[in-house]
């Protein structure tokens, strides 16, 4: 059962391994938490994010797989024989997190030890000089300021991996008393999600006229977006959006979000109404209709239909 700490040296990485670039969307586990707080189940714990706790960049660095495999540190056969199941990352500020060894060694996993972001040296606030980028996995596993790697039979220690911080509790759990926290799997991959970016809440559209709806969609584990449906009648009828930038990604390595747009028609009479969207990913998972049945005390993984309330303008011409 080998626990092998590996100290990381950027110069060494750059010298020994080819640079790989990957465009990745990184999402906080608590993205869209605020929508949970508006349900009858009440407040969750944590920052009340809207849909903005995610972002996308092109990272450049060394493939973690290359380091493990070609330094003779770990390969699938030795991992199995030694009982190594997790690769842990330890940062300069002592944070620990880990990912399953299968993701680390996956030839199509694209896990990076990144020292560049959008073609520039990785800025300190984004984890420079060196951070882990784990495409398709929740933000917290993308450890910033990484200094050491440990291959281990166990997950990393600490609250971010083994504590309550990134565990998905059942809707009925309203206290941590009596709950077997370690028995609940740490969040790694996240579910399919989407959001309407325009129009924004409170926007006004012209009666009976077409208006554009735009947004993005993304799914965990590299699962590509195969379709986004948008409704102006609460889900009774759906119009399928056109997939734009991001839709050309490989359906199993779609690490970045996909943009979409669709034209809807406004109702003919003045009223407030709701538009909503739901995405389907390459495994044909889709988004749940409402946040209530997936509500959880930590407010994680809210991927319910995204709903935006807008209204139809009063048509003053009628009164002329």
Residues at the site binding a second copy, with contacts judged by CB under 8 A:
76, 100, 102-103, 105-108, 168, 170-172, 184-185, 187-192, 220-221, 223-224, 226-227, 229, 235, 237-240, 251-253, 278, 280, 282-290, 292-294, 300-301, 303
**Residue number with CB closer to a second copy (278 or 306):** 278
Closer CB to a second copy, residue 233 or residue 245? 233
Rounded Cα–Cα distance for residues 125 and 119 (Å): 16
Q: Which is nearer to a second copy, 154 or 189 (CB)?
A: 189
Nearer to a second copy, 92 or 184 (CB): 184
CB of 300 to a second copy, least distance (A): 8
Minimum gap (Å) between residue 45 Cβ and a second copy: 18
Report helix, strand and coil shares of the chain as percent, to nearest 5: 15, 35, 50
- CB 284 to a second copy: min, Å: 4
Taking the alpha carbons of 146, 190, 246, 49 in that order, is the dihedral positive or negative? negative
Which of 267/288 has CB closer to a second copy?
A: 288
* Residue 120 beta carbon to a second copy: minimum distance, rounded to whole angstroms: 28
CB of 277 to a second copy, least distance (A): 11
Judged by beta carbon, residue 147 or residue 190, the one nearer a second copy is 190
Q: Measured from the CB atom, is 175 or 185 closer to a second copy? A: 185
Q: How far is the CB of 117 from a second copy (least distance, A)?
A: 25
HEC letters along the chain: CCCEEEECCHHHHHHHCCCEEEEEEEECCCCCHHHHHCCCCCCCCCCCCCCCCEEEEEEEEEEHHHHHHHCCCCCHHHHHHHCCCEEEEEECCCCEEEEEHHHHHCCCCCCEEEEEECCEECCHHHCCCCEEECCCECHHHCCCCEEEEEEECCCCCCCCCCCCCCECCCCCCCCCCCCCHHHCCECCECCCEEEEEECCCCCEECCCCEEEEEEEEECHHHCCEEEEEEECCCCCCCEECEECCCCCCCCCCCCCCEEEEEEEECCCCCCEEEEEEEEEECCCCECCCCCHHHCCCCCCCCCCCEEEEEEECCCHHHHC
- Asked, as a colleague might, if the bond just before 129 is cis with ω within 30 of 0, I would say yes
> Do residues 6 and 149 lie in contact, with contact meaning Cβ atoms separated by under 8 Å?
yes
Minimum gap (Å) between residue 274 Cβ and a second copy: 14
Q: CB-wise, 128 or 135, nearer to a second copy?
A: 135
Side-chain half-sphere exposure of 228, counting CA atoms within 13 A: 32
Residue 37 vs 283, nearer CB to a second copy? 283
The CB-of-114 to a second copy minimum distance in angstroms stands at 22
Tally Cβ neighbours within 10 Å of residue 80: 11
CB of 210 to a second copy, least distance (A): 17
């Amino acid at each position: 059962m080998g626990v092998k700490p590996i100290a990381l040296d950027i110069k060494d990485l750059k010298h020994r391994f080819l640079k790989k670039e990957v465009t990745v969307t990184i999402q906080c586990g608590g993205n869209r938490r605020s929508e949970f707080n508006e349900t009858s189940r009440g407040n969750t714990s944590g920052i009340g994010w809207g849909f903005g706790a995610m972002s996308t960049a092109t990272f450049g660095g060394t493939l973690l797989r290359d380091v493990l495999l070609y330094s003779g540190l770990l390969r699938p056969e030795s991992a199995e024989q030694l009982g190594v199941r997790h690769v842990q990352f330890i940062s300069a500020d002592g944070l620990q997190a880990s990912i399953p060894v299968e993701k680390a060694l996956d030839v199509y996993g694209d896990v990076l030890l990144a020292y560049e972001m959008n073609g520039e040296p990785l800025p300190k606030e984004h984890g420079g000089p060196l951070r882990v980028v784990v495409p398709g996995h929740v933000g917290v596993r993308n450890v910033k300021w990484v200094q050491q790697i440990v291959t281990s039979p166990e997950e990393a220690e600490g609250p971010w991996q083994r504590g309550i911080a990134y565990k998905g509790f059942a809707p009925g759990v309203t206290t941590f008393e009596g709950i077997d926290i370690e028995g609940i799997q740490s969040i790694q991959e996240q579910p399919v999600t989407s959001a309407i970016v325009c129009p924004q809440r409170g926007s006004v559209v012209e009666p009976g006229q077409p208006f554009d709806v735009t947004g993005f969609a993304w799914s965990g584990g590299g699962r590509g977006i195969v379709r986004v449906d948008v409704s102006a009648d609460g889900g009774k009828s759906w119009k399928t959006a056109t997939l734009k930038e991001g839709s050309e990604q490989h359906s199993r390595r779609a690490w970045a979000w996909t943009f979409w747009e669709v034209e809807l028609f406004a109702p003919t009479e003045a009223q407030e109404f709701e538009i909503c969207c739901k995405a389907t990913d390459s495994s044909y998972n889709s988004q749940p209709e409402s946040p209530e049945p997936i509500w959880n005390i930590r407010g994680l993984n809210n991927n319910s239909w995204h709903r935006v309330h807008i209204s139809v303008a009063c048509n003053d011409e009628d009164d002329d």
